[in-house]
Structure 1
C-alpha cells in the first residue's frame, strides 16, 4: 500500500490541511503546560477527550456518516484509543512536567522515523537512502537539544525521565498513525472511527487516572476549561481527521513532515512564553533537527 498517486504538498487539497494541522498543533504544546499546572496530567487527558469524543461523534453525524463501524472497526477503534488517545497523550502530558513544551515538540517531530518504519513494515510504504541520512542528522540535532536541557535542568529537573516519556509517547502515536491506515480503517468514515477511538480512549484514560492519580480532580479555574476546550476541539476534533487523512494520502512518513512547522512554532512560543534560553548548543541542535527533517522527507520518490 502506498500514498495516493497525486498526493503532493503542491496540491492545495493536501497543502491546506497540512498547514492547518501544523499551525494548530504548534500552539497546543504550550497550552498543555497550563493543563498540568496543579492538575494530575492523567485527569487533564480525561477531561480533554470527555469533550472531544462526543464532539467528534456529532461531526460524524453532521457529515452524514454512520456511527456503526462493525466488529472489525471496533477492534481498530480500541487499538487506536489505547495507543493514540491514552498512551500517547498520557506520556506526552507527563513529559511536559520535566521538559519545556518546545523540546517535547522537537522530540515528537521525530515521529516520522517510527511512522515510516512501521509504514514500511505494515503497509508496504517504501523508504529511501535520503530518509536514512536525514534521520541520522535529525537525531544528532535532538541529541544536542537534550544535552542542552540536561545542562539547564529542564522544567522538573528530571530531563531524562522526560525524554523516556516523550519517546514512548512518540511510539504510541506511530502505532496509531499506521494501523488506522490499514484496509479496515480506509473502509470506514474517518470521523466515525475517530469518535469511537476517542470514546475508548476516555475509558482507558479514566482507568489509568484512577489507578495513578486517585479520585477525579475537577478544576474550577475557567482558564483550565478554556484550554481544555481548545485542545479538545481545535487540537483533536479539527486536526485528527485532517492528519489521519494526510497519513492515508501522503504516506505515514511524509505526513509527519508537518513536524517541521510544528517545531518552529512550538519553539517560538516556548521562547516567548516559557523563557526558553537559546545557547549555541541549542541553536546547533535545532538547526540539525530541522535540516534532517527536511532532507529525510524531501525525496519525491
Structure 2
C-alpha cells in the first residue's frame, strides 16, 4: 500500500529544487569572470570561445558515454542542435567578448540583463507563453537595481564611437542568447534530452566559432601557462558544461522569462568576489541596488508560493 505524498510537500520540494538550480547557475556564471580574466593575454577572444565550447562539449560527451545516454539523433534533431549552438554558444559569446573590449563590465552586465525582457517577448511570440505583468515589473525593477549597483562605473563610460559599438555588440549578443533560449525550450518540448542535446549544441557552437575564426584570419595559438589553461578549464567545465545544463534544466522547469533572471543576479556574485580579491568598495547606491535586485528575483522565483502560503495562513485564521 503506497503512502500518499501531500501535494503541498511536492510543491515545496519542486520550489526548493528550482531555487537550488537557480543558485547554482548564478554562482557559476558569477564566478566566470575569474576564468575570463585568467584568459586575457595573447590568444584571440574568439579563439578562446572556440576552445571553451569544444572542451565543454568533450566533457559532456564523456559524461553521456559513461552514463550510456542516447547520443544518436536524426538529422532534424541535429539541425536543432546546430541552431542552438550558433545562437547560444557561438554568436552570443563572441559578440559579448568583443563588446567587453569597448565597455566597462557594469554596463555589459546591464545589457546582458536585458535578456529577461527579450525572453518575455520571445516566449510570447515563439512559445505562446502568457506575459505575466508581475514578471515584467520584476524585470524592470531588477534592471533598475543593476543600474544603481553600477551607477558609478557607468558614469565613466562616455558616448564615444567605441562605446556605441560596444553597446550594439552587447545588444546583438543578448538577442542571440535569448533566441538560443527559445530554441532550447523548443528542443525540450520536442522531447530531446537536455545533457546530450547540450553536448551536441556546444560541439556545433565550438565548430562554428572555429570556422568563423578561420574565415577572419584568426591565429589559433595556445598560451601554455598555468594561468591560461586553468582559466580555460574552469570556463569549459564549470562555467559552460555544468552551468548550462543547470540553466537549461531550470529553463524547462520555469520558462525562459523567469530563468533569465539569473543574468540579473550573477553580476552581484562577481562584485562579491571582486570585493574579496580586488578590493572593490561598496557605495550606498550599490547596496540599495543589491537589495532591489534580490527583491525582484525573490518575487519571481518564490513569490507565487509565498503568496499561496500566506493565503493559506489567512484562511486558517
TM-score (norm 2): 0.80
Match of 2:213 in 1: 209
Moved more, 208-217 or 270-279: 270-279
Aligned partners of 1:241, 1:255: CA distance in 2, in Å? 13
Q: Give the Cα–Cα distance (whole angstroms) in 2 for the partners of residues 39 and 173 of structure 1.
A: 24
Give runs of aligned pairs for residues 23-42 of structure 1, distance below 5 A. Answer: 23-42=27-46
How far does the alpha carbon of each residue in 1:165-196 deviate from its partner, in whole angstroms, 9 at most, with x for none? 22222211111111111156541121211111
Which SS does the other structure have where 1:178 is aligned? helix
Indicate if the aligned counterparts of 1:30 and 1:270 stay in contact, CA closer than 8 A: no
Structure 1 counterpart of 2:186, from 182, 189, 208:
182
Determine the structure 1 residue equivalent to 2:84: 80
Q: Which has the larger radius of gyration?
A: 2
Of 130, 135, 140, the match for 1:136: 140
More displaced 10-residue stretch of structure 1: 240-249 or 214-223: 214-223
Give TM-score, length-normalised by structure 1: 0.84
The change in CA–CA distance for 1:13 and 1:138 in structure 2 (over 3 A counts) is closer
Moved more, 103-112 or 242-251: 103-112
Number of equivalenced pairs: 296
Displacement of 1:28: 0.5
Q: CA deviation at 1:217?
A: 2.0
Q: What SS class does the counterpart of residue 125 from structure 1 fall into?
A: coil
Rate the CA distance shift 1:37–1:287 in 2: closer, same or farther, 3 A.
Answer: farther
Point out the more displaced range, 63-72 or 240-249. 63-72
| 3-state SS in 2 of match to 1:152 | coil
- What's the CA shift for 1:272? 4.3
8 Å CA contact retained: 2:265, 2:293: no
Specify the alignment match of 2:227 in structure 1.
223
Output aligned runs, 1:156-195, within 5 Å: 158-182=162-186, 186-195=190-199
1:269 equivalent to 2:269? Answer no
Which of 240, 249, 266 is the aligned partner of 1:245? 249
- Cα distance, 1:238 vs structure 2: 1.1
| Structure 1 stretch displaced more, 234-243 or 144-153 | 144-153
Q: Distance in 1 between matches of 2:189 and 2:161?
A: 41
* Separation (CA, whole Å) in 2 of partners of 1:185 and 1:216: 38
Extract unaligned runs of 5+ from structure 2. 1-9, 306-317
